[in-house]
Amino acid sequence: MSTETSTHELEFDVEGMTCANCARRVEKVLRKVQGVQTCEIDLVRERARISTGPGVSIAALEEAVAAAGYGLRPHERIGPREPRRASRPAAVRAAAALGLALAAMASSMVPGAPGRPWLEVVLAGLCVFGPGLGIVRKAAREVRARAAGMDTLVALGALSAMVSAVVQAAASDGRVGTGHEAFHGTAVDHTFAESGAMIVAFVLLGRALEERAKRAAGDAMRALESLVPETARVVRHGMEATIPTSELRAGDEVRVGAHGRVPADGTLLGEDVLIDMAWLTGESTPVLRRVGERVLAGALAAGAAMSMRVDAVGEGTELARVERLVAHAQASKAPIVRMADRVSAVFVPAMLGVAGLTAIVHGFWGAGLDAALQASITVLVVACPCALGLATPTAVTVAVGRAARRGILVRDAAALETLANVRIVALDKTGTLTEGHPTLLASLAVEGDPDHALARAAAVERESEHPIGEALVNAAVARGLPSLEARGVVARAGQGVRGEVDGVHVEVTSVDEAALVEVGPSLAAKVAGLRQAAASVVAVRLDGRIAAFFAVRDVVRPGAAEAVSRLRALGLGVRMWSGDHAVAARAVGSELGMTVDEVRAGLSPEGKADALAALSGVGPVAMVGDGVNDAPALALSAVGIAMGGGAASARQTAGITLVHPDPRLIAEAVALSRRTMRIVRQNLGWAFGYNLVMVPLAATGQLERFGGPMLASAAMAGSSITVVLNSLRLRRTRLEASRPMPER
């Protein structure tokens, strides 16, 4: 394919990757292609995500990867019932290799077997150059590219054994040993051939089991991809027909049957219905959607048929956005990976040197050519760094998928790692710990009719994302006030909103001491009383003069007090920061069981940033918020957590988004991140420890008494499988039982 691509985001399937060295090599060659801006390689899912400038051809990318010995093809979205690439060929190859290897071993152990030792050589050769041919070819490409990897080590070990076996068989001149000689593998009738075959067999068996385990790690993505139905019932020109979902377009009217899946994002028509949004919110309880409200692709019509107008299809849906976010997070690298990457970059060349040195030392000490070669082969096989390459990506893949199923969207692996280390969680009040939808509690007129001021305040607040502005707009609608048009509206985070309505300059701001002095002690006392009732009070100025005060009050979210308790149980410090006045903030804090010292009020966006800096000496701080005024603090914190129902700017700035506005998910996200990093450290410890123990044993010949290369290949495969299975424990871990962070 040579057509120029106009998109800046490309996704490819990568063929031939078997270890971290492979992934690094593919990333390196892709980054060298002119026009490639960024490249992320997902070893677990065998994917490449590439950002390019205009004019980069797919053919150029494919050719660069092919020259390095790998395959690259554009990733095609797989439908919910379309068969996926199966692991059966890998399992068949492993079974065939194991059968041939066992046959070769049996032929070397049966006294007087016809055709010895050539029968053993032929059977082993069929194994190495049959099922194992892919390993040999891959190693040859790695050698040509001067970039040794796992396959280089395996192929060198197997081919060294085969070459030695052919030499020994030729030297035997066709003689067949019997009795005691046969069982002890003399140079006359026994060779290293079965060792080469067993190396290949165990490696292929390990890869087949790895592939199966890695597919289990990607269950979350497959679950998301399967939510969109293959077909949809569309009404066009007064006629109803069933068409492929891919052919839907904006503006279509679609009918969804009872218990059917919604095929696209759209607007509900006809009548109110219950919708199951478990895929997005993690909550299995259906929610009521009213006519005119938004419904999302993948939702389930809970018990009643429904009609909707399509607004977005395919890649434009919220489901597709979540899929992209999950895929990006699974492919990203946590900072802890850098250490493993640096080690892997020099590991294979170093092990080649150790293997060569082992052969020289054994030969120098008079152990004989056979023993020197056997020890060298064992080092090559046991040193394969596959477990090291799988240690982090498998754990991150499982964790991000688990989080997505619970309605916790992780932007990248770095956010997951950072969250595990936070010491304090700072919580915004409005929209995070409270519902974020306050209602108008009281109106205090200063000059004229308060409804006159309310209508104009609603006009400038109509496009506002702030909950107080929304409350004023809703109150104006409820009172039947005229809908006025505002011009030149300017909203400043922490300072309010201003604009012009019917030639009058309108400002909606928080109440400060200057405003209270301006209206006198009587009205100031009433404002203080409203604040004592935990209400937030704003002043509406018309042409610079205060016309009215409006008090709105929010209610604490269900589960907010439990969320604070869970965070404390995890050993975290908890703070509540608010732009609201101190009385209202402290009233909410008291309801949540927080002390006066844990609550700060009247904070501007800059004030929250200063508060973050003040806590930096204690440790990393996670900031949780939902509004425009929280975006700077979310960006400056160690990791930002945005409530999904909040402002778009907050979601774009945060490293983690809670789709369902349930503050209890904050503790769940922290617990999951800690558990994930604990698994990553276990995996890395196992991978490093395995090589630290096994390589010296192999180099000194200690493994020869237990099978040498055969034991090495089995141990190497077992190490990789152990790492993947350990990561899969994250799918079933009980997050609420996670241990508190130990004190430093």
| Residues designated catalytic | 428
Query: Which DSSP letter does residue 265 get?
Result: E
How far is the C-alpha of 44 from the C-alpha of 329, rounded, in Å?
12
d(CA 606, CA 705): 69
249: exposed, middle or buried (Cβ count in 10 Å: 0-12, 13-18, 19+): exposed
Q: How many CA atoms lie within 13 A of 368 on its CB side?
A: 6
* Residue 517: its H or E element: helix 513-519
The residues near 51 (Cβ < 8 Å, ≥ 6 apart) are 8, 9, 10, 36, 37, 38, 39
Contacts 24+ apart (CB under 8 A), 587-596: 587/532, 587/533, 587/534, 588/429, 588/433, 588/434, 588/534, 588/554, 588/556, 591/556, 591/561, 592/433, 592/556, 592/560, 592/561, 592/564, 593/561, 593/564, 593/565, 594/564
Question: If residue 507 lies in a helix (H) or strand (E), which one and from where to where?
Answer: strand 504-510
The residues, ordered by sequence, that sit 6+ positions from 548 with a Cβ below 8 Å of its Cβ are: 443, 444, 445, 446, 447, 448, 450, 453, 454, 539, 540
Output DSSP code: residue 429: I
Q: Which two tokens mark 248?
A: 């839907």
Taking alpha carbons only, the member of 111, 104, 6, 18 closest to residue 55 is 6
Smallest CA-to-CA distance from 150 within 43, 47, 308 is with: 43
Taken in order 618, 622, 627, 631, is the CA torsion positive or negative?
positive
At what angle are helices 386-405 and 664-699 packed, to 10 degrees? Answer: 170
By C-alpha distance, which of 102, 107, 136, 160 is closest to 375? 160
The helix/strand/coil state of 424 is strand
Q: How far is CA 532 from CA 70, 444, 586, 587, in A?
A: 68, 16, 10, 8
Strand partners, 234: 241, 254
Q: Which pairing describes strands 424-428 and 573-577: parallel, antiparallel, or unpaired? A: parallel
Q: State which amino acid sits at residue 209.
A: L
Instruction: Kindly state the tokens that stand for 608.
Output: 């929250």
* SS3 category, 618: coil
Beta bridge partner(s), residue 576:
427, 599
Strand order in the sheet with 71-74: 36-42, 47-52, 9-15, 71-74
Alpha-carbon separation of residue 635 from 580, 613, 623, 626, 653 (angstroms): 21, 13, 9, 12, 6
